[in-house]
């Protein structure tokens, strides 16, 4: 299992770390994902797909907050990944983040896992 850090970036209250696990890009998102920080995640996810990693596993366990802008970034990444034959898997969402998906019904269009380990085993 390749758990080496491939890259990481930070913008204010959001930190994004990317590493590869087989054919998947594991994107760990920590902090607050909102209008001011969403571009960092968008650029990271799009870069993964552009680099040939169409299966994106987003580790949300350290994510403390997400608004509708963050949800839109994930929806956009889902469309781009699916166009390349992949998809977006969400792992370890905290209740405050999971609530955004429940309220909007977006949980129905993502594969959601209880933990990062479960997402990587899928």
- Chain segment 2-40, per-residue pLDDT in tens: 444 566 666 679 999 999 999 999 999 999 999 999 999
**Structural domains counted in the chain:** 1
Which residue range forms the structural domain that includes residue 23? 15-121
Percent of the chain, pLDDT > 90? 89
| Any domain includes 9 | no
| Any domain includes 8 | no
Find the CATH number of the domain harbouring 31: 3.30.750.24
Mean pLDDT along residues 54-79: 97
The pLDDT-based confidence of 45 (bands split at 50, 70, 90) is very high
Tell me the per-residue pLDDT of 57-66, one tens digit each, with 9 for 90 and over: 999 999 999 9
Would strands 14-21 and 5-11 be described as parallel, antiparallel, or unpaired? antiparallel
| Any domain includes 83 | yes
Q: 54 near 88, Cβ under 8 Å?
A: no
Residue 113: strand, helix, or coil: strand
Quick one: 20 exposed, middle or buried, by C-beta within 10 A (0-12, 13-18, 19+)? middle
């Amino acid at each position: 299992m390749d758990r080496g850090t491939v890259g990481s970036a930070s913008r204010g209250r959001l930190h994004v770390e990317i590493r590869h696990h087989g054919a998947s890009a594991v994107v760990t998102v920590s902090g607050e994902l909102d209008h001011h920080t969403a571009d960092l995640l968008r650029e990271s996810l799009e870069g993964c797909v552009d680099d040939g990693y169409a299966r994106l596993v987003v580790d949300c366990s350290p994510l403390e907050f997400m608004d509708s802008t963050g949800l839109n970034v994930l929806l956009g990444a889902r469309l781009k990944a699916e166009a390349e034959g992949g998809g977006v898997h969400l792992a370890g969402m905290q209740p405050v983040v999971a609530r955004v998906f429940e309220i909007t019904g977006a949980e129905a269009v993502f594969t959601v896992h209880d933990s990062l380990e479960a997402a990587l085993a899928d």
